[in-house]
Amino acid sequence: MLEPERITRTTCPYCGVGCTLDLHVRDNFIYKVTSPFDSVVNKGNLCVKGRFGYDFVYHPRRMTRPMVRRYLLPVSSEQLSVNRRDAPEWGNRSLMTDPLTTDTSPWDWVETDWDTALNLTADKLVEIYRRDGSDAMAVYCCAKATNEDNYLLQKMFRAIFRTNNVDHCTRLCHAGSVVALQQALGTSAMSNTASEVLLNDVFIVTGSNTTENHPIIALQMKEAVRKRGAKLIVADPRRIELVDFAELWLPLKPGTNVPLFNAMAHVIVQENLVNWEFVRTRTEGIDTFIASLEKFTPEFAESICGVPAEDIRRAARLYATAKHAAIYWGMGISQLSHGTASALTLIHLALLTGHIGRPGTGLNPLRGQNNVQGASDMGAMPFHFPGYMRVDAPGNAEQWERLWNVEPGGLSRKPGLTTTEILSHAHPGGVRALYIMGENPMMTEPNLNETRRHIEQLEFLVVQDLFLTETAVYADVFLPATPFAEKEGTFTNTDRRVQRVRAAHPPRGLSRPDSDIICDLARRLEARLGRPTARWDYAHPSEILREMASVNRDYAGITYERIEKVGLQYPVPDETHPGTPTLFLESFPRGRGRFIPVDYVPCAELPDDEYPFILTTGRVLEHWHGGSMTRHSDLDELYPEARVEIHPADAELHGIENGSLVRVTTRRGQVTLRAHVTEKTTVGVLFIPMHFHEAAANLLTTDALDPQAKIPEFKACAAQVFPAREEETHSPAAARGRY
Residues 528-549 have pLDDT tens digits of 999 888 899 999 999 999 999 9
Nearest 5°: the CA angle 262, 267, 270 is 120
List of domains in the chain: 6-58 (2.20.25.90), 67-170+371-569 (3.40.50.740), 175-365 (3.40.228.10), 613-728 (2.40.40.20)
Residue 227 makes CB contacts below 8 A (sequence gap 6+) with none
For the beta carbon of residue 314, count every other beta carbon within 10 angstroms.
18
- Burial label for 317, CB within 10 Å (0-12, 13-18, 19+), is middle
Rounded CA separation 379/390 (Å): 10
Residue 680 makes CB contacts below 8 A (sequence gap 6+) with 238, 239, 240, 645, 687
DSSP readout, 438-472? S--HHHHSSSHHHHHHHHTT-SEEEEEESS--TTG
- Work out the end-to-end distance of the chain between its first and last CA atoms, rounded to an integer number of angstroms: 36
Rounded CA separation 410/408 (Å): 5
- Residues linked to residue 718 through DSSP beta bridges, in sequence order: 614
Return the exposure string of 219-241: e unless at least 16 CB atoms fall within 10 Å of the residue's CB, then b: bbbbebbeeeebbbbbbbbbbbb
- Residues linked to residue 364 through DSSP beta bridges, in sequence order: 328
Reduce the DSSP state of residue 177 to 3 states and report it. helix
Rounded CA separation 156/162 (Å): 9
For the chain, the 3-state helix, strand and coil shares in percent, each to the nearest 5, are 35, 20, 50
For the beta carbon of residue 203, count every other beta carbon within 10 angstroms.
29
Q: One-letter amino acid identity for 205? A: V
Query: Do residues 675 and 693 lie in contact, with contact meaning Cβ atoms separated by under 8 Å?
Result: no
CA-CA distances (angstroms) from residue 74 to 83, 95, 120, 462, 665? 9, 19, 11, 19, 46
Residue 261's closest CA among 292, 229, 217, 224? Answer: 292
Rounded CA separation 521/437 (Å): 13
Identify whether 428 is preceded by a cis peptide bond (ω within 30 of 0). Answer: no
pLDDT in the model for residue 103: 42
Which parts of 317-402 are beta strand (E)?
A: 325-329, 362-365, 384-385, 389-390
Residue 175 makes CB contacts below 8 A (sequence gap 6+) with 334, 339, 418, 706, 709, 710, 711
Identify whether 106 is preceded by a cis peptide bond (ω within 30 of 0). Answer: yes
Reduce the DSSP state of residue 318 to 3 states and report it. helix
pLDDT in the model for residue 92: 39
- Residues linked to residue 672 through DSSP beta bridges, in sequence order: 663
Query: Do residues 495 and 193 lie in contact, with contact meaning Cβ atoms separated by under 8 Å?
Result: yes
Nearest 5°: the CA angle 146, 147, 152 is 100
Q: Which contiguous run of DSSP H or E holds residue 675?
A: strand 669-677
pLDDT in the model for residue 728: 60
CA-CA distances (angstroms) from residue 350 to 206, 311, 582, 695? 14, 19, 15, 40
For the beta carbon of residue 81, count every other beta carbon within 10 angstroms.
8
Question: Could you tell me if residue 105 is left (phi over 0), alpha (psi between -120 and 50 degrees) or otherwise beta?
Answer: beta
pLDDT in the model for residue 1: 73
Q: Taking the CA atoms of 675, 677, 678 and 681 in sequence, report the sign of the dihedral they define.
A: positive
3-state SS, one letter per residue, for 210-274: HHHHCHHHHHHHHHHHHCCCCEEEEECCCCCHHHHHCCEEECCCCCCHHHHHHHHHHHHHHCCCC
Rounded CA separation 600/15 (Å): 31
pLDDT in the model for residue 94: 39
Greatest CA span in the chain, whole angstroms?
A: 84
- Burial label for 590, CB within 10 Å (0-12, 13-18, 19+), is middle
Rounded CA separation 347/261 (Å): 10
Reduce the DSSP state of residue 365 to 3 states and report it. strand
Rounded CA separation 103/718 (Å): 35
Query: Do residues 158 and 166 lie in contact, with contact meaning Cβ atoms separated by under 8 Å?
Result: yes
Measured in residues, the chain has a length of 739
Specify the DSSP class assigned to residue 55: G
- Residues linked to residue 568 through DSSP beta bridges, in sequence order: 498
Return the exposure string of 153-167: e unless at least 16 CB atoms fall within 10 Å of the residue's CB, then b: bbbbbbbbbbbbbbb
Rounded CA separation 600/302 (Å): 13
For the beta carbon of residue 591, count every other beta carbon within 10 angstroms.
11
Residue 23's closest CA among 511, 502, 451, 405? Answer: 502
Q: What is the pLDDT of residues 322-333, one digit of tens each?
A: 999 999 999 999
- Burial label for 198, CB within 10 Å (0-12, 13-18, 19+), is middle
Question: Could you tell me if residue 146 is left (phi over 0), alpha (psi between -120 and 50 degrees) or otherwise beta?
Answer: beta
Instruction: Flag residues of the chain having pLDDT under 70.
Output: 75-107, 726-739
Rounded CA separation 698/707 (Å): 20
pTM of the model: 0.94
Q: Which contiguous run of DSSP H or E holds residue 110?
A: strand 109-111
Q: Which contiguous run of DSSP H or E holds residue 320?
A: helix 309-321
Query: Do residues 247 and 232 lie in contact, with contact meaning Cβ atoms separated by under 8 Å?
Result: yes
Query: Do residues 712 and 446 lie in contact, with contact meaning Cβ atoms separated by under 8 Å?
Result: yes
Residue 453's closest CA among 157, 135, 669? Answer: 669
Query: Do residues 222 and 245 lie in contact, with contact meaning Cβ atoms separated by under 8 Å?
Result: yes
3-state SS, one letter per residue, for 262-306: HHHHHHHHHCCCCCHHHHHHHEECHHHHHHHCCCCCHHHHHHHHC
